[in-house]
């Protein structure tokens, strides 16, 4: 009776339709009973058992190492924020200094231009005055 | 033998004179500051400023010019140079006398205008190329402040008359 049930379960197994519970039942039966009709199944389950024993175990983080990992991540994030903030502040400061420098230079040029303009204006005024004086001179009668 | 040496010497001298006349003077390139004031870079508080076309474009983009007329005029300028250093009256006059003599000798610059203001003197010069003014510069001696300055505006065709209008709009 139990053997029939196992055979049915094995059929389901090979169709990949068994649940984990049903697979446990199969493994338990094969471990405790010797049935020559099921010899191929014995070999298969031995192989997968061995394979499971040498498979790499999943990495488990203990609570302590996980905390350290999070701390490192926090430190990296904080460093990135500080560096970015510093860079942005530096860039802003550089732009501000550069803008002030541009204003100083432009004012220097403007002062020169005004100076030249005054000089030229004065020159033309003097020239016109001289011309007017010359025009006012009347020939002696 | 002496005749041969004399002949070769005359030949070499003649060749040197004729070739050197064809070669343009290296002093003819650059602004008045580059040509006549490089040797004064050890003067006290020597300061030199160059504003290139690129920088002027940047100033224009930021709208830093105080008046649109400045912007309009400065569009003609490709390079602005300013030089200043500390110098007392006697030393400034000596420097100017040397520079003036060199300018007269080289004939690269024409005296344009001389202006006396508040005890200081300014000497304006222009450099032209095919009737186009390519440089407008002025040397200023301010004895009361012990300062010697040189300003130079360089371009392809500078219209000096436009500068005169600044006094009416400031």
Q: How far is A99 from chain B (nearest CA, A)?
A: 9
CA A12 from chain centre, in angstroms, equals 49
Structure tokens at A100: 């002030």
CA-based nearest residue in chain A for residue B70: A110
CA-based nearest residue in chain B for residue A120: B164
Please state, in angstroms and rounded to a whole number, the distance separating the CA atoms of residues A136 and A19.
Answer: 125
Whether residues A46 and A83 share a domain: the answer is no
B36 has pLDDT over 80:
yes
Q: Output DSSP code: residue A17.
A: -
Question: CB under 8 Å to A106, separation ≥6 — which residues?
Answer: B59, B64, B65, B66, B70
Q: What is the pLDDT of residues A68-102, one digit of tens each?
A: 888 899 999 999 999 999 999 999 999 888 888 88
Mean residue pLDDT across chain B: 83
The range of the structural domain enclosing residue A108 comes to: 61-141
> In chain B, what residues touch A102 (CB-CB under 8 Å)?
55, 58-59, 62, 64
CB-based burial label for B158 (10 Å; 0-12, 13-18, 19+):
buried
CA torsion angle for B83, B88, B92, B95 (degrees, to 10)?
-90
Name the helix (H) or strand (E) containing B142: strand B132-142
Q: How far is A121 from chain B (nearest CA, A)?
A: 6
Whether residues A69 and A42 share a domain: the answer is no
Whether residues A116 and A70 share a domain: the answer is yes
Q: Quote the Cα angle for B148-B150-B154, to 5°.
A: 175
Whether residues A66 and A127 share a domain: the answer is yes
At residue B65, the pLDDT reads: 82
Whether residues A139 and A81 share a domain: the answer is yes
Structure tokens at B102: 């060199």
Structure tokens at A132: 């007017």
Whether residues A65 and A124 share a domain: the answer is yes
Question: Which candidate from A103, A112, A116 shows the least CB-CB separation from B64?
Answer: A103
Whether residues A49 and A66 share a domain: the answer is no
Whether residues A70 and A48 share a domain: the answer is no
Number of domains in chain A: 2
Question: CB under 8 Å to A42, separation ≥6 — which residues?
Answer: A30
Task: Confirm or reject contact between A105 and chain B (CB < 8 A).
Answer: yes
Whether residues A41 and A90 share a domain: the answer is no
Question: Which candidate from B51, B117, B164 shows the least CB-CB separation from A117?
Answer: B164
At residue B160, the pLDDT reads: 86
With CA atoms as reference, report the closest residue to B44 among B92, B101, B93, B103: B92
Q: Report DSSP letters for A37-79, one per residue.
A: GGHHHHHHHHHHHHHHHHSPPPP---HHHHHHHHHHHHHHHHH
Whether residues A42 and A76 share a domain: the answer is no
Q: What is the pLDDT of residues B115-149, one digit of tens each?
A: 888 889 999 999 999 889 999 999 999 999 999 99
> In chain A, what residues touch B138 (CB-CB under 8 Å)?
116, 119
In degrees and rounded to multiples of 5, residue B110 shows phi and psi of -110, 135
Q: Are the beta carbons of B98 and B118 closer than 8 angstroms?
A: no
CA-based nearest residue in chain A for residue B125: A116
CA-based nearest residue in chain A for residue B136: A116
Q: How far is B167 from chain A (nearest CA, A)?
A: 6
Whether residues A47 and A67 share a domain: the answer is no
Q: How far is B102 from chain A (nearest CA, A)?
A: 23
Whether residues A41 and A108 share a domain: the answer is no
Q: What is the pLDDT of residues A51-61, one digit of tens each?
A: 777 766 666 65
Q: Are the beta carbons of B84 and B47 closer than 8 angstroms?
A: yes
């Amino acid at each position: 009776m139990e053997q029939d049930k196992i055979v049915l379960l094995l059929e389901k197994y090979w169709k990949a339709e068994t649940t984990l519970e049903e697979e446990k039942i199969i493994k338990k039966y094969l471990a405790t009973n010797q049935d020559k009709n099921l010899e191929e199944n014995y070999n298969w389950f031995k192989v997968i058992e061995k394979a499971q024993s040498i498979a790499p175990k999943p990495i488990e983080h203990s609570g302590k190492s996980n905390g350290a990992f999070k701390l490192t991540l926090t430190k990296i994030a904080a460093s990135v924020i500080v560096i970015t903030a510093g860079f942005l502040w530096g860039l802003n400061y550089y732009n501000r200094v550069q803008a002030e420098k541009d204003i100083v230079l432009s004012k220097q040029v403007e002062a020169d231009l005004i100076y030249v303009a005054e000089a030229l204006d004065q020159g033309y005024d003097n020239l016109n005055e001289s011309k007017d004086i010359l025009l006012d001179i009347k020939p002696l009668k | 033998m002496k005749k041969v040496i004399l002949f070769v010497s005359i030949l070499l001298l003649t060749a040197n004179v004729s070739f050197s006349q064809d070669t343009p003077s290296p002093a003819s390139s650059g602004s008045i500051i580059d040509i006549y004031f490089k040797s004064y870079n050890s003067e006290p508080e020597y300061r030199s400023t160059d504003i290139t076309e690129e920088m002027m474009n940047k100033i224009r983009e930021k709208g830093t010019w105080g008046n649109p007329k400045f912007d309009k005029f400065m569009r003609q300028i490709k390079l602005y140079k300013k030089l200043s250093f500390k110098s007392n009256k006697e030393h400034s006059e000596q420097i100017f006398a040397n520079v003036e003599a060199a300018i007269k000798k080289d004939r690269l610059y024409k005296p344009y205008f001389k202006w006396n203001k508040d005890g200081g003197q300014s000497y304006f010069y222009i450099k032209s190329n095919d009737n186009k003014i390519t440089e407008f510069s002025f040397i200023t001696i301010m004895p009361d402040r012990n300062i010697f300055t040189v300003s130079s505006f360089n371009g392809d065709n500078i219209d000096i008359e436009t500068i005169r209008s600044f006094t009416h709009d400031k």
